[in-house]
Amino acid sequence: MEEKKVRKRIPKESKVRAELQKEINSCCPFCSNDDVGHFEIHHIDENPSNNEIKNLILLCPLCHSKITKGDISNFDVLKRKFELVTTPLNIDKQDKNSINFNAKVGNAIIGDNNKVTIKKPAKMPKAKYPEGCIGYDTTKANYIGHLIKRYNEYKEYEIGKDGMNYGAFGAVLKREFKIAPTRTIYNVPIERFEELSFYIQGRIDKTKLARVKGREHKNYSTFEEYKADVG
């Protein structure tokens, strides 16, 4: 029986993932899912060796699966990537909070080249996760996402992509750490970060692929390694 291929790790993947996450504003560019911890990196030209940022896009597992099956065409992916690259997410503060009109008005009483500025009150962005939760700390939240993603990759080896339920492991984690149904694993208190990390690491180490690779193989980055990679 031929052994299933495992995707090679993208160089400095944590840093690349952070850049791609910023590009999509932490929402799936196709369905607006914001559970970014489960998101996957897709190679637009389907060449896993081409890791240029322009060939990569971050997606939720469901939309990634739709692309693999052909439900979302490669043309649509290319078009969406182009929109993300060419449409800035962070509009200049002056442009965002005011509207300027500069035009010649021949018969205006106050003269030509009038400039009208309409001020709009600035709104403070609301944090998705309250202070004290893992989700409030971006680096720690992304590390948990890294571990969950690695677990799903290892499970794919056992059952294949078609048999994967990418949300199942998240549900297991929520039950284990007693998180309410309406919340996510990132609502776990920050003081339980190490406990959660060790639990997921242990689940990865118990997968069939981890046993095949043996104890000498490194299945995931430690948090310190992850921080160094991102930094």
Which residue segment(s) compose the domain that 60 sits in? 1-90
Task: Report the alpha-carbon distance of residue 54 to residue 83 in Å, rounded.
Answer: 12
For residues 177 and 131, membership in a common domain is answered with: yes
Tokens 């439900």 — which residue? Answer: 71
| Dihedral sign (CA 142, 148, 151, 155) | negative
Per cent of the chain over pLDDT 90 is 26
Task: Report the alpha-carbon distance of residue 54 to residue 100 in Å, rounded.
Answer: 34
Domain boundary among 62, 90, 118: 90
Higher pLDDT among residues 55 and 35, named by residue: 55
Backbone angles phi and psi of 17, in degrees to 5: -60, -40
Domain-embedded: residue 49: yes
Domain boundary among 90, 106, 134: 90
The pLDDT-based confidence of 129 (bands split at 50, 70, 90) is: confident
pLDDT of residue 36: 82
For residues 148 and 77, membership in a common domain is answered with: no
Q: Which of 58-62, 110-114, 205-209 has the lowest mean pLDDT?
A: 110-114
C-beta of residue 41 within 8 angstroms of C-beta of residue 10: yes
Domain boundary among 44, 67, 90: 90
For residues 149 and 81, membership in a common domain is answered with: no
What does the buried/exposed string (b/e) look like for 165-176 if buried means 16 or more CB atoms within 10 Å of the residue's CB?
ebeebbeebbee
75-99: average pLDDT:
65
Domain-embedded: residue 112: no
**How many CB atoms neighbour CB 27 within 10 A?**
16
For residues 140 and 225, membership in a common domain is answered with: yes
For residues 213 and 143, membership in a common domain is answered with: yes
The pLDDT-based confidence of 93 (bands split at 50, 70, 90) is: very low
The overall longest dimension of the chain from CA atoms, in Å, is 86
171-176: average pLDDT:
91
Identify the bridge partners of residue 58 per DSSP, sorted by sequence position.
41
Task: Report the alpha-carbon distance of residue 147 to residue 37 in Å, rounded.
Answer: 9
For residues 135 and 191, membership in a common domain is answered with: yes
Number of structural domains the chain divides into? 2
pLDDT of residue 109: 40
Query: What angle do the packed helices 138-159 and 168-176 form, to 10 degrees?
Result: 120
Task: Report the alpha-carbon distance of residue 158 to residue 51 in Å, rounded.
Answer: 26
For residues 78 and 16, membership in a common domain is answered with: yes
What pLDDT, in 10s, does the model give residues 193-219? 999 999 999 999 999 999 998 888 889
DSSP line for the chain = -PPPP-PPPPTTHHHHHHHHHHHTTTS-TTT----GGG-EEEETTS-TT---GGGEEEE-HHHHHHHHHTSS-HHHHHHHHHHHHHS-SS--HHHHH--EEEE--TT-TT-SSEEEE------PPPPSS-TTBGGGSHHHHHHHHHHHHHHHHHHHHHH-GGG--TTHHHHHHHHHTT--TTS-GGGSBGGGHHHHHHHHHHHHHTSHHHHHH-TTS--S--HHHHHHHH-
pLDDT of residue 7: 58
